[in-house]
Amino acid sequence: MNLFDVYPINDITIVKAKGSYVWDDKGEQYLDLYGGHAVISIGHTHSHWVKRIEEQLEKIAFYSNSVKIPLQKELSDKLGRISGKEDYQLFLCNSGAEANENALKLASFHNGRKKIIAFSKSFHGRTSLAVAATDNKNYVAPVNETDNVIFLPLNDQDALVECFEKKGKEISSVIIEGIQGVGGINVADDSFLKKIRSLCDKYGAVYIADSVQCGYGRSGKFFSHDFAGVNADIYSMAKGMGNGFPVAGIIIAPHIKPKHFMLGTTFGGNHLACAAALAVLEVIEEEKLMGNAVMVGKYLRDQLDQITELKNVRGRGLMIGFDVPADLKELKKNLLWNQKIFTGESKPNVIRLLPSLALKKRDAEQFIDSIKEEIEKVTEKVQG
Ligand SMILES: Cc1ncc(COP(=O)(O)O)c(C=O)c1O
> What is the pLDDT averaged over residues 344-373?
97
Asked whether 222 lines ligand 1 (CB < 6 A), one says: no
Residue type, 355: P
Q: pLDDT exceeding 70 applies to what percent of the chain?
A: 100
- pLDDT at residue 163 greater than cutoff 80: yes
pLDDT band at 364 (very low <50, low <70, confident <90, very high): very high
H/E run at residue 55: helix 47-59
- pLDDT at residue 70 greater than cutoff 80: yes
Which comes out higher in pLDDT, residue 233 or 383?
233
- pLDDT at residue 381 greater than cutoff 90: no
Residue type, 284: I
- pLDDT at residue 125 greater than cutoff 70: yes
- pLDDT at residue 339 greater than cutoff 90: yes
Q: What per-residue confidence (pLDDT) applies to 27?
A: 98
Q: How far is the CA of 123 from the centre of ligand 1 (A)?
A: 7
Q: What per-residue confidence (pLDDT) applies to 384?
A: 67
- As a dihedral over the C-alpha atoms of residue 212, residue 218, residue 220, residue 225, rounded to 10 degrees, the angle is -10
Closest atom of ligand 1 relative to the 211 alpha carbon? 1
DSSP string, 184-241: TSEEPPHHHHHHHHHHHHHHT-EEEEE-TTTTTTTTSSSSGGGGGT---SEEEE-GGG
Closest atom of ligand 1 relative to the 127 alpha carbon? 11
Q: How far is the CA of 165 from the centre of ligand 1 (A)?
A: 30
Asked whether 182 lines ligand 1 (CB < 6 A), one says: yes
Closest atom of ligand 1 relative to the 95 alpha carbon? 10
Nearest protein CA to atom 8 of ligand 1, as residue: 96
Q: How far is the CA of 260 from the centre of ligand 1 (A)?
A: 27
Asked whether 250 lines ligand 1 (CB < 6 A), one says: no
Chain segment 49-67, per-residue pLDDT in tens: 999 999 999 999 999 999 9
Chain segment 256-315, per-residue pLDDT in tens: 999 999 999 999 999 999 999 999 999 999 999 999 999 999 999 999 999 999 999 999
Residue type, 305: D
Asked whether 346 lines ligand 1 (CB < 6 A), one says: no
Q: How far is the CA of 307 from the centre of ligand 1 (A)?
A: 30
Q: How far is the CA of 247 from the centre of ligand 1 (A)?
A: 12
- pLDDT at residue 360 greater than cutoff 70: yes
Q: What per-residue confidence (pLDDT) applies to 379?
A: 85
Segments in 84-155 forming alpha helices (H): 96-111, 128-132
Q: What is the total residue count of the chain?
A: 384
The answer to whether the CB of 165 falls within 8 A of the CB of 198 is no
Mean pLDDT of the chain: 97
Decide: pTM greater than 0.85.
yes
Asked whether 95 lines ligand 1 (CB < 6 A), one says: yes
Dist CA 217 CA 293 (whole Å): 8
Asked whether 97 lines ligand 1 (CB < 6 A), one says: yes
Dist CA 321 CA 319 (whole Å): 7
Nearest protein CA to atom 7 of ligand 1, as residue: 96
- pLDDT at residue 118 greater than cutoff 80: yes
- pLDDT at residue 123 greater than cutoff 70: yes
Q: What per-residue confidence (pLDDT) applies to 383?
A: 73
